[in-house]
A and B are shown apart, each in its own frame.
Chain A
């Protein structure tokens, strides 16, 4: 019997979604024509580029971080909300909904912090046919100077109050989009929840300066010789976004249906956000980089993975990783691993060797050819030895024995050795090793039961220090 193919269809705070892939509110969702093309490409939803009183943008407005040849590892913008008239945006929302009734269109909104202004825009967006509203409390540049965007998102009282105003009027679900430019994202999330929000989305962009031109001393992006801090996004921010998503979802006073945002570019990223409790994901930078077509692999890849794992729906795996994230004090202190080098895979680069000497615990050694373990030879001594070596070009006819030189196997003297008794299992060497699976971290059985810091404290084995420590990023 052929197994049923899993489905990507789901429900997010009451909104029916054909798939969880939405475009985030940004240039890819600027206008109706774009969004319709995106829907044709396979996107399940789009959060309209934030609508409000039209603004004037500067140019240039983007800059980015490249990493070893890869472009746009991190992306930065100093763009504001939509520069198009509110009426035009609303007309186009109506047009898109007429032609694509099953796709999700969310109106992202930002107006001045007045009750009437919010009531009016909510009414108009819903009249146009939006399936839901996303409140942009995150924009970190330009808008905040006008008392909007992150100026709201960073003050819990405003956040709660404005969410409340919107809820007074709204008939569709209200999603509050959170700014990460705050020391504890849960504070803003709780405020939104207090204000009656139906859902959250996180994260918006992170304050950043991407870099400075070393010829002109001009920070990027260049606006006529000056620059400004902008919002950071793209692959570089994903770990930060994942952490914030986990914090919100693990906290009962913050948790709401969540749309994950930040550095998502593939089905793998999406799966990770969903495993931490997100119901949908939003994508901006990846779509700006590669175009709408990336959604094809995102859908295909996620479905294939779900089929492989036996998940029929998104709900089947949503949040599954949450129980695996704990506070540090709850981790097992008696779990011990050590690094093991697999000689058959080692290529002899010795990156693990210097990494452990300079960056870890000096327990990797180059003594495989010495009669007894020699743990006293430092990297400096090794280098000095080889600098004294005289080498010549091997000429087969002149140098018997050199012609058979082979690159196929790594010479024993280049393969490092781990002193397992001293290895602290920090993992650095295996992260540094360029060859996959060449260094594995192996558990060594110490026959000790699970024991955490918390338990040790409870047993009175260790002093508690200052007593109840204010928990920050836990």
Chain B
């Protein structure tokens, strides 16, 4: 255990990536942070706090920056959100805390909450101080957590602070899930994600990497643990289901992002087409620009109004030179061993929301790389597959809805009391902070269910 190499040291920064993916929002220095902190009104029952899924006490942590109490500020943040550093970089604050700031109605300029949060968290990390929490006195209870993404990490932190053992299992070699592998590097560098999780390991979370938990494994964990938390995220990215999808040069957005973040991928070819218009598609398109593509298109079968990407993400993509093609649908992929182009048809939306192809509107968009980002499957298969493993597990009977695990929002408990869940596998794919909030509620919920309610360290 003690010889463990700290997570951030297990990766090597790729110079190309470092150079091309500089900070989107540069950090504050003290000269800028303190006046900005003083601009905050210190609202009562602050709307920024209410808007934050993890309910970080924003006015309090900002006031502490203003007074120079940086360690206290970091503690206030982490107490509500154990992944406060990642969230300060990855959160779509425009629609969360900063979007709710009352200053919109005053001088139109919200307080830069995210940059202040990052300022406090960076200061903590730079000070070398440990995580400002202690594990609670051991209760002898143990919980297995499947997936080492933000939901499980947040859940594990709550459990450890209450003296409950937390065993985390993940198929990947490093923790963090999407935080580590899926958020655009100019927002959240991989190393930063790991640095934060490294602190968390001080709480005594047990990590089991490169461990795939199948139905039988899960039944075993259910038997050996007092509760199980499912933080399994989403499954594979959907396929288009057209001819040519097997050609070299067809990939998906998550593999592309994970590829360049881990240094496996340092360049892309000239012409890139991204299919889909969600936030991940935008990240993939911008990454392609930064990795050297000269022409990057995003295609979407509906219009701009219906895309799921945030407006500011869309604007950012346009600023980086990404071109958008609306109302087109791929019908085939051309190529000879490798991708040459994408066959497209123009489509029109109808009254009832369905999409119909327009006559004689087929055309071909030349491409060297096609990146799919058209939604992810859920783990419905994985879950239902377990029912065959015997009736010894309650797991097979967990209630699902459209492939998502149904939970009690306040506690994360599923229809099977011993199982709790949170994050993307319950909400179909939202933001890191939503997963953290789910995990936190589930951690508290599990402890409550297990009868451990005393204060946390």
Contacts and interface: CB of A to CB of B under 8 A. Distances in A.
Contacts of A462: none
Query: Taking chain A's interface residues, is the majority helix, strand, or loop, or is none over half, making it mixed?
Result: loop
Interface in A312-350: 347-350
Nearest to A406: B104
Given A354-B44, A394-B95, A348 B428 contact: no
Interface stretch (A97-105, A130-138, A383-391): A383-391
A348 B308 contact: no
A387 B428 CA distance: 25
Nearest to A366: B45
B308 A397 contact: yes
Contacts of A387: 55
Contact of A407 (B42, B104, B307, B433): B104
A395 interface: yes
Interface string B72-115: 00000000000000000001100110011011111000000000
A410 interface: yes
A391 B95 CA distance: 12
B440 to A, nearest CB: 11
A386 B34 CA distance: 28
A61 interface: no
Contacts of B105: 347-348, 407-410
A394 B47 CA distance: 15
Contacts of B49: 386
A383 B51 CA distance: 14
A393 B55 contact: no
Given A347-B102, A347-B103, A348-B105, A389 B50 contact: yes
Contact of B52 (A391, A396, A407): A391
A351 interface: yes
B449 to A, nearest CB: 18
A411 B410 CA distance: 25
B53 interface: yes
A435 interface: yes
Interface string A118-151: 0000000000000000000000000000000000
A414 B47 contact: yes
Interface in A352-372: 353-354
A439 B316 CA distance: 40
Contacts of B441: 390
Interface in B219-265: none
B267 interface: no
B40 to A, nearest CB: 10
Contact of B41 (A379, A395, A398, A434): A434
A388 to B, nearest CB: 8
B409 interface: yes
A435 B106 CA distance: 7
Nearest to A346: B105
Nearest to B108: A407
Interface string B418-457: 0000000001101101100100010000000000000000
Contact of B306 (A350, A351, A397, A408): A397
Given A351-B43, A407-B104, A407-B105, A393 B38 contact: no
A471 interface: no
Interface residues of B, number: 41
Nearest to A355: B44
A69 interface: yes
Nearest to A433: B41
A434 B91 CA distance: 28
Contacts of A447: none
Category for how many chain A residues contact B: 20 to 34
A392 interface: yes
B354 to A, nearest CB: 16
A88 interface: no
Nearest to B428: A398
A431 B96 CA distance: 30
A28 to B, nearest CB: 28
Contacts of A382: 44-45
Residue in B38, B45, B310 whose Cβ sees the most chain A Cβ within 10 Å: B45
B390 interface: no
B38 A348 contact: no
Contacts of A414: 47
B6 interface: no
A393 B44 contact: no
B35 interface: yes
Nearest to A387: B55
Contacts of B95: 393-394, 405
A68 interface: yes
A392 B434 contact: yes
A104 B66 CA distance: 45
Contacts of B430: 392-393, 395, 398
A410 B42 CA distance: 17
A353 B51 CA distance: 20
Contacts of B306: 397
Contact of A349 (B34, B43, B52, B433): B43
Contact of B53 (A354, A393, A397, A410): A393
Contact of A348 (B35, B91, B102): B102
A134 to B, nearest CB: 39
Contact of B410 (A354, A390, A397): A390
Nearest to B52: A391
A436 B140 CA distance: 58
B45 A347 contact: no
Given A349-B44, A391-B51, A396 B308 contact: yes
A211 to B, nearest CB: 13
A228 B172 CA distance: 64
Given A391-B52, A393-B95, A386 B308 contact: no
B99 A350 contact: no
A439 to B, nearest CB: 14
A351 B428 contact: no
Contacts of A379: 44-45
Contact of A393 (B50, B103, B433): B433
A262 to B, nearest CB: 26
A398 B430 CA distance: 10
Interface in A425-452: 434-435
A95 to B, nearest CB: 44
Contacts of B308: 395-398
Contacts of B434: 392-393
A266 B267 CA distance: 61
Interface in B373-422: 409-410
B421 to A, nearest CB: 15
A227 to B, nearest CB: 21
A393 B409 contact: no
Nearest to A385: B45
A69 B100 CA distance: 25
Nearest to B105: A347
Interface in A219-248: none
A73 to B, nearest CB: 13
Interface in B16-62: 34-35, 38, 41-45, 47, 49-53, 55
Interface string A401-427: 000010111100010000000000000
Nearest to B432: A393
Nearest to B279: A395
Contacts of B410: 390
Contacts of A409: 105
Given A68-B35, A350-B45, A386-B45, 6 more contacts: A68-B38, A350-B44, A393-B53, A393-B96, A398-B430, A414-B47
Interface of A: 68-69, 347-351, 353-354, 379, 382-383, 386-387, 389-398, 405, 407-410, 414, 434-435
The 6 closest A-B pairs by CB, nearest first: A407-B104, A350-B44, A397-B308, A347-B105, A69-B35, A349-B43
28 contacts: A68-B38, A69-B35, A347-B102, A347-B103, A347-B105, A347-B106, A351-B42, A351-B44, A353-B44, A354-B44, A387-B55, A390-B409, A391-B50, A391-B52, A392-B53, A392-B430, A392-B437, A393-B53, A393-B430, A393-B433, A394-B95, A397-B307, A398-B308, A407-B100, A407-B104, A407-B105, A434-B41, A435-B106
